[in-house]
Amino acid sequence: EAGVVQSPRYKIIEKKQPVAFWCNPISGHNTLYWYLQNLGQGPELLIRYENEEAVDDSQLPKDRFSAERLKGVDSTLKIQPAELGDSAVYLCASSPGGETQYFGPGTRLLVL
């Protein structure tokens, strides 16, 4: 069974530029999460989807971050414009429901 796929794996951009991350969850997993992981810390939730509906986006900085999950499968997370403090690892996870989540390899973003 294929795991959670994320791309790109690494991204370097200049501040104020836009950037987008893509996630393909495990087949059949209705719940999709985006987490942010800063250096030396654990992942923190940005947004949770149940199918195509964003059911918890309370931690998403909506002035610059947006996300979508069209057709309830793949998802994209966008930052526009990026700031220096956005440098981090962006993790996507999926779940069939319940507590166990399966993570992708993450996208490591560096904003210069």
Partner 1 sequence: DQQVKQNSPSLSVQEGRISILNCDYTNSMFDYFLWYKKYPAEGPTFLISISSIKDKNEDGRFTVFLNKSAKHLSLHIVPSQPGDSAVYFCAAWGNTGRRALTFGSGTRLQVQP
Residues near partner 1, by CB under 8 A: 4, 6, 33, 40-45, 48, 56, 91, 93, 99-106, 108
User: Considering beta carbons, is residue 41 or 80 the nearer one to partner 1?
Assistant: 41
- Nearest distance, CB of residue 48 and partner 1, angstroms: 5
Q: Give CA–CA dist 17/112, Å, rounded.
A: 10
- Nearest distance, CB of residue 16 and partner 1, angstroms: 27
User: Considering beta carbons, is residue 9 or 15 the nearer one to partner 1?
Assistant: 9
User: Considering beta carbons, is residue 53 or 99 the nearer one to partner 1?
Assistant: 99
Q: Give CA–CA dist 104/99, Å, rounded.
A: 16
Sign of the alpha-carbon torsion through 36, 17, 13, 102: positive
- Nearest distance, CB of residue 36 and partner 1, angstroms: 11
Contact 72, 30 (CB under 8 A): yes
